[in-house]
Amino acid sequence: MQPKLTVHSVEPALAGDPARRVLSLPGTFAMHLGGELRDVQIAYETWGKLAPDHGNVLLLFTGLSPSAHAASSPADPTPGWWEEMLGPGKPLDTQRFHVVCVNSLGSCFGSTGPSSLNPVTGKAYALGFPTLTVEDIAAAAHATLLALGIRRVRAVIGASLGGMSALAFALLFPGAAEVLVSLSSATHSEPFAIAVRSLQRELIRSDGAWQGGNYPPGDGPREGMRLARKLGMMSYRSASEWLERFGRERADSAQHEPFGIEFEVESYLESRARAFVGGFDANSYLYLSRAMDLFDAAEHGGTVDKAFKRLKLRMALVAGVETDILFPLHQQRALADALQRTGIETQYLPLASKQGHDSFLVDMDRFRPAVGDYLAAL
């Protein structure tokens, strides 16, 4: 499981992503379900000063599609995907903490993934990339921290897939994190979530432009990605939000093509889907999506309770949202209960957000105090 590291080097920032740094982990990275990667690169960003004793680190994992650019910084003033949560005086307070956000292994924003060149063949991995698991994402982040000289973090934090990665990190590297902050995540995926993601993947694979994964670099199944994103939005938001927001409002610019856009909710989905297309590599999407299906913390011991016996967390926060249909609240409760049973001081926080699974990205009035108060008390 533990990657076999030999040496490492940090590359300078890349043009266009000025705050991003890329760490090279030469040698062999053994994958959780078999196979290996060579010369893995992991992209990351940091905010705040690292304390001399390295005792102020927060490790932040992302959801399926974001990059490591979680927030702006002097080096890169463009807003990040968690801009309101990370910065001076914000919940992930960079006046106090040194925050490290890692682009997941298998993603496409600087970390090694299916679109990366396989050093053995000189061509993109495509479907030659080995099966990716959440454990691999966690292990790559751990290797990155070690390479940066950080052996232990105050808290490992993540939402959605990021929460699974954070939990895998705590399971694989007991003692490497003192506190777990799991937002809108779970110990495993339930069949409804698997079904949604399975159909998303099928929409991508059904697009002829996917070409069995061998599309030209930077190109790919745009229609499949657009359709998959629409389905994604249905699982990320909530029916009650849309009822309040759109009702039966008709679209301003009703299309005149047969069965085209007629209602505002259709127009919204179309614009959200179009904005996503081209910004994310299709094969990375497939691998990361399947990794979420495959994750099951219980496999680290036979049952969740047995698996959790290895945890050396001091405290945990488990927060989720009652309108989440992808990671439903009963899964948050089950995770919190299992942590508590293990003897970890656990806070369970069900939030009344209306925006479903995506609430951690948009319902800042609830998530800011939830996370901020918790981290402030550390």
* Residue 300 binds a copy of itself, judged by CB under 8 A: no
User: Taking the CB of residue 212, how many other CB atoms lie within 10 A of it?
Assistant: 8
Q: Is 223 in the site for a copy of itself (CB under 8 A)?
A: yes
Q: Given its phi and psi angles, is residue 110 left (phi above 0), alpha (psi -120 to 50 degrees) or beta?
A: left
Q: Candidates 325, 334, 362, 364: give the one binding a copy of itself (CB under 8 A).
A: 325
From the list 324, 353, 359, 363, the catalytic residue is 324
d(CA 291, CA 295): 6
Binder of a copy of itself out of 25, 265, 304, 351 (CB under 8 A): 265
SS3 61: strand
Among 69, 98, 300, 357, the active-site one is: 357
Q: Which of residues 118-177 bind a copy of itself (CB under 8 A)?
A: 127
CB of 143 to a copy of itself, least distance (A): 26
Q: Say whether residue 275 binds a copy of itself (CB under 8 A).
A: no
Among 90, 230, 354, 357, binds a copy of itself (CB under 8 A): 230
Fill in the DSSP letter of residue 356: G
Q: Which of 19, 143, 203, 361 binds a copy of itself (CB under 8 A)?
A: 203
Amino acid at 8: H
DSSP output for 180-247: EEEES--SB--HHHHHHHHHHHHHHHHSGGGGGGTPPTT---HHHHHHHHHHHHHHHS-HHHHHHHTT
253 is catalytic: no
Q: Catalytic residue at 324?
A: yes
Which of 20, 96, 98, 290 is the binder for a copy of itself (CB under 8 A)?
290
Closest alpha carbon to 160 in 284, 289, 327: 327
From the candidates 67, 160, 289, 359, which is the catalytic residue? 160
Determine, following the binding rule CB under 8 A, whether residue 79 of this chain makes contact with a copy of itself. Answer: no
Is residue 37 within 8 Å of 155, Cβ to Cβ?
A: no
In our burial notation (b when 16+ CB lie closer than 10 A, e otherwise), range 59-74 reads: bbbbbbbbbbbbbbbe
3-state secondary structure of 65: coil
If binding is defined by CB under 8 A, does position 258 make contact with a copy of itself? yes
> Is 34 a residue that touches a copy of itself (CB under 8 A)?
no
- Is 322 near a copy of itself (CB under 8 A)? no
Please, which residues have CB within 8 angstroms of residue 181's CB and are 6 or more apart in sequence? 155, 156, 157, 158, 166, 316, 317, 319, 371, 374, 375
Distance between CA atoms of 369 and 173, rounded to whole angstroms?
A: 29
CB nearer to a copy of itself: give 244 or 373.
Answer: 244
Look up 357 and say whether it is catalytic. yes
Residue 337 in the binding site for a copy of itself (CB under 8 A):
no
Choose, by CB under 8 A, the member of 134, 153, 172, 196 that binds a copy of itself.
Answer: 196
* Beta pairing class for 21-30 and 86-87: unpaired
User: Could you say whether residue 251 binds a copy of itself (CB under 8 A)?
Assistant: no
Distance, CA of 326 to CA of 312 (rounded, Å): 28
Q: Measured from the CB of residue 205, what is the shortest distance to a copy of itself in angstroms?
A: 6
Residue count, binding to a copy of itself (CB under 8 A): 48
Q: From the list 213, 220, 221, 320, which residue makes contact with a copy of itself (rule: CB under 8 A)?
A: 213
CA angle 197/350/232 to nearest 5° reads 20
Of 15-23, 72-80, 82-90, 201-209, which segment contacts a copy of itself by CB under 8 A? 201-209
Q: Indicate the residue among 264 and 363 with the shorter CB distance to a copy of itself.
A: 264
Collect all residues with Cβ–Cβ distance below 8 Å to 52 and sequence separation of at least 6.
Answer: none
Is residue 33 within the footprint of a copy of itself (CB under 8 A)?
no
Closer CB to a copy of itself, 124 or 313, in the complex: 124
Phi, psi of 53 (to 5 degrees): -90, 5
**Rounded least distance, CB 195 to a copy of itself, Å:** 5
Of 83 and 223, CB closest to a copy of itself: 223
Helices (H) and strands (E) in the chain, counts: 11, 12
The residues carrying an active-site annotation are: 160, 324, 357
Q: Catalog residues that contact a copy of itself under the rule CB under 8 A.
A: 127, 188-192, 194-196, 198-199, 201-203, 205-206, 212-213, 223, 227, 230-231, 233-234, 238-239, 242-243, 245-248, 258-259, 261-266, 269, 286, 290, 293-294, 296, 325, 328
